[in-house]
Structure 1
Amino acid sequence: MWIAVAMGAIVVIILLIFILQNTKQVAISFFAWDFELPLGVALLFAAIGGVLVMASVGGARIWQLRRAYRKTEPAPEPKTDPKD
């Protein structure tokens, strides 16, 4: 557990250093919107968007596999009374 927390902290520190060193403004065009952001922040938003897309696709696939597994799972056998 503590190793995961330490690794997460290291990743956050590296990410902050990257963002702070890449402060040059870049023009972003997205559909009808035009705006400027620091390069590090723009790349961070792109990475977050990629993670969200992959998480939603992965979640949909897991849901699909669980549903298929439940359909193939055998029904429980009815309990019989040993007195009969």
Structure 2
Amino acid sequence: MNPGTPEVPGVEVPGTDPITTDPAATTTTTPSTKRPTRVSGAWVSAIVAIVLLAFLLVFILQNLNSVTVNFLGMSGSLPIGIAMLLAALGGMVVIALVGGARIMQLRKQSKRLRK
């Protein structure tokens, strides 16, 4: 209420909230927020994986020209799409090994600090 304004029951003053005596009207309802489940996360991951594999398949099928690959004195001929896929997989293996070594190092340090 504004100071100096007389209170008159049942009359609303502009700029103020009307007073209600109904308790149901004063309760606030929050929208139900559903947390994602593991199953929904698995479905999303599966759909993303399917889309990525489809793109990978299209890439390989469009790059079927054979190239000669030389590695550590060995040489062979295979489609360029497959060669690039193998190179990417090799890079992933290297990153996984480095990441795994770092995780083991941090776990060892954490155990040392707990003692």
Same fold (TM over 0.5): yes
- Larger radius of gyration, structure 1 or 2? 2
Q: Distance in 2 between matches of 1:31 and 1:47?
A: 17
Whose helix proportion is higher, 1 or 2? Answer: 1
Which of 58, 80, 99 pairs up with 1:58? 99
Which of 50, 54, 64 pairs up with 1:23? 64
Structure 2 stretches lacking a partner, 5+ long? 1-41
Write out aligned runs for 1:2-81 (5 A). Answer: 2-74=43-115
Structure possessing the higher relative contact order (Cα contacts under 8 Å, 6 or more residues apart): 1
Structure 1 stretches lacking a partner, 5+ long? 75-84
- The amino acid of 2:102's aligned partner reads R
Q: How many residues align?
A: 74
RMSD (Å), alpha carbons: 0.7
Structure 2 length-normalised TM: 0.63
Q: Distance in 2 between matches of 1:46 and 1:2?
A: 29
Q: Distance in 2 between matches of 1:33 and 1:4?
A: 38
Q: Distance in 1 between matches of 2:96 and 2:73?
A: 27
- The amino acid of 1:24's aligned partner reads N
Report how far residue 66 of structure 1 moved. 0.4
Identity %: 41
Structure 1 length-normalised TM: 0.85
